[in-house]
Amino acid sequence: MKGKMIPLFILCLLVVVLSACGGKKVTVVKEENKADKQTRKDELVLAIGSEPEDGFDPITGWGRYGSPLFQSTLLTYDQEFQLVGDLATDYALSDDGLEWQVELREDVKFSDGEKLQAKDVVFTFTEAKNSDSVIDLGNLENVIASDDHTVVFTLKQPDSTFTTHLASIGIVPQHAYSENYHEKPIGSGPYQLVEWNRGQQLIVEKNPHYYGNDSFFKRLTFLFTEMDAGYAAAQAGQVDIATVQPRLAHKKIDGMKLVELESVDNRGISFPYLPSGQVNENGDPIGNDVTSDPIIRKAINIAVDREELVDNVLEGYGTPAYSVSDQLPWWNPDTALEDGNLEEAAKMLEQAGWKMNSKGVREKDGIPASFTLLYATGDEQRQSLAMAFASMMEPLGIKVETSGKSWNDLEKLMYSEPVLFGWGSHTPLEMYNLYSTSTRGEGFNNPTYYSNEKVDEYMEKAIHASSPEEANDYWKKAQWDGETGFSVEGDAPWAWLVNVKHLYVVREDLEIGKQKIQPHGHGWPMTDFIQNWRLIE
């Protein structure tokens, strides 16, 4: 046999990984054994999420679901979900709510050694405002640097949610920003990019100019593998942290521990709110004659047993979900309901004229209580949740078929068919996007075409509130004010099912500390406090 011999160890690892991946080709990027892992004190290998296809540019959205890693933000949320300064030492809001003044640290350098100044903040927010990206800065009138370490943001209207942008948009250097920045980012965060092999791995090293806590680990290697392949690599001793599916979480791996992180990474079902018969500008159908009935929506919410979904589909690694923002400061806990009550749900349907026919399906005015629940093809967890939900609805007399569709298909069908979605972020604007009349049918925003004038009023007041406390009060009223709201107590255009715990197998001597509630699984949210991670004796 000609050529370089493949070490027996690598062959063994390939067998393990390929077995987990069903024969898919996997690139082995690090040649070491379990003993190497124990002696490696200043490096980590992580398989904790998918590759960011769009790269690492905060102006186009990198870092929205967790720390931008390479960049710093003006503000950040601590483990208790309180806003604290990152680059900012202080900030103040004018009496009219239109002007935000932010004072910057004076000891910050980018990873290339150049000082970070107010002009870089101005450049970042100006570029983000003018970019055609997921970042919406339409309410930003202008941003200026009043001196080297003071930035003044002027808004068109008061906006209590502007802190979301201050806490999520990583600052980029004006002098080093180019069209290739997303591939070769320079920032003031705890780590700097060294090498990115697309489809395989990302190597980063400690930023020597970082102003915060000195990172314990000099080098991090992020592997881009399927979840089962990352888990197999953990079994083989090749990674220090790997995400794990609930079905494997109970299995013990020598030298590793299971870490469970609470999340607002939810799964819920959108119910088209209008009757059928309309189309949007693209000709896609809008409305559904079954789910447009509020009694159907409420009965489903009461009947579905969320604890059973957690136990049987998530193997216990999750919590029941009652909203898109459970446990966050703007959540209204009064919207949590007693569910799993088939008897009460059936009584509601019966009184509303939904009568059981000879086939065990309820009907009203000749319309059977049946619909197809769609989910993204290839997502096993969503498929399992959809099938379990359908089984729960059968004794209620609601017939639910399930079908996997591509995202392209879902974009056309989601206004007329229920869809099992995943949401969850660290901003109340997600509620606005899902429930505001003004966002109906804007891509994946408000796919139900829900509209409630009083809810709109509360959300507008929340956005234009003068303090987070005042804003949160209005966000809670939009969910339920005692008479109306978008929660199940009110109009119930969604049935929220579960919040998925984020599960990781972690080497036993690695301490990652307390984490805040995790957002939806995009990006690498668990790296939020990575500069505080340590090996323990």
Comparing 9-23, 459-473, 509-523, which segment has the lowest mean pLDDT?
9-23
The more confidently predicted of residues 251 and 32 is 251
Domain 1-50+194-263+501-537 identical in fold to domain 58-183: yes
Q: How confident is the model at residue 37 (pLDDT cuts 50, 70, 90)?
A: low
pLDDT at 49: 87
CATH class label, 266-500: alpha beta
pLDDT beyond 50 at 24: no
pLDDT at 408: 96
pLDDT at 180: 95
Segment 487-498, tens digit of pLDDT = 999 999 999 999
Report the CATH fold assignment for 1-50+194-263+501-537. Answer: D-Maltodextrin-Binding Protein; domain 2 (3.40.190)
For all residues of the chain together, what is the average pLDDT? 91
324, 424 in Cβ contact below 8 A?
Answer: yes
pLDDT at 3: 36
Q: Which residues contact 386 (CB under 8 A, 6 or more apart)?
A: 373, 375, 402, 420
The more confidently predicted of residues 9 and 379 is 379
pLDDT beyond 50 at 12: no
Read off the pLDDT of each residue in 342-355 and give the average, rounded to a whole number.
97
Segment 204-247, tens digit of pLDDT = 999 999 999 999 999 999 999 999 999 999 999 999 999 999 99
pLDDT at 40: 61
Tokens representing residue 507 in the block = 């080497």
Read off the pLDDT of each residue in 140-147 and give the average, rounded to a whole number.
97
Domain spans of the chain? 1-50+194-263+501-537, 58-183, 266-500
The rounded distance, in Å, linking the Cα atoms of 323 and 158 is 26
491, 30 in Cβ contact below 8 A?
Answer: no
Q: Architecture of 58-183 per CATH?
A: 3-Layer(aba) Sandwich (3.40)
Of the candidates 472, 378, 377, 493, which has an alpha carbon nearest to the alpha carbon of residue 427? 472
Of the candidates 462, 378, 377, 380, which has an alpha carbon nearest to the alpha carbon of residue 413? 377
Burial of 479 by CB count in 10 Å (0-12 exposed, 13-18 middle, 19+ buried)?
buried
3-class state of residue 126 by DSSP = helix
What backbone torsions phi and psi does residue 366 show, to the nearest 5 degrees?
80, 5
CA atoms within 13 A on the CB side of 185: 31
Q: Which long-range contacts (CB under 8 A, 24 or more apart) does 22-26 make?
A: 24/226, 24/229, 26/225, 26/229
The rounded distance, in Å, linking the Cα atoms of 329 and 475 is 10
pLDDT beyond 90 at 2: no
Whole-angstrom CA distances from 494 to 274, 313, 345, 387 are 13, 20, 16, 17
Q: How confident is the model at residue 524 (pLDDT cuts 50, 70, 90)?
A: confident
Q: How confident is the model at residue 90 (pLDDT cuts 50, 70, 90)?
A: very high
pLDDT at 537: 77
pLDDT at 412: 97
Q: What percent of the chain has pLDDT over 70?
A: 93
